[in-house]
Amino acid sequence: METVIGNPLIKALIILFLLSATTAAGVAPTAYDVSLVDDSWPKDLFDIISGNTSNSWERLDAGGILSHSFEIDAKRQGMFHGAPAVITYRVPTKVSLQEAYSTPILPLDILAERPTENKLD
């Protein structure tokens, strides 16, 4: 089966970059108890090959970058519409837990059977 790997990694990196930029622009220099949950990959459609769809970190300093990735394998063919990943974190200037969402990925045509394109014509 074909492995779908790029989009979750890209989604996680974009999420953490945006969280880093948001924290850097605000009053609080550091985010604490950072948690990433990307559970939009149903077990009946995907197998997790390596890694976890969630992760947590103790802190993210302003301007800092965190990285997280996982590899999944599609079980069958078809269109898949994923949901945004959820990031939660605490900042010293706010009492409540902060929540952010990733930008949703475009629909994925899993294991698509497409005719070959001749791009030289």
What does the pLDDT read at residue 110?
A: 87
Per-residue model confidence as pLDDT tens for the chain (121 residues) = 444 444 444 444 444 445 554 444 555 579 999 999 999 999 999 999 999 999 999 999 988 888 889 999 999 999 999 899 999 999 988 889 999 998 888 898 888 777 767 666 5
What's the 3-state SS for 25-63? Answer: HCCCCEEEEEEEECCCCCCCCEEEEECCCEEEEEEEECC
- Round to whole Å and give the CA distance between 70 and 72: 7
Q: What is the pTM of this model?
A: 0.66
Displacement of CA 68 from its chain's centroid (Å): 8
Contact 71, 5 (CB under 8 A): yes
Contact partners, residue 6, CB within 8 Å, separation at least 6: none
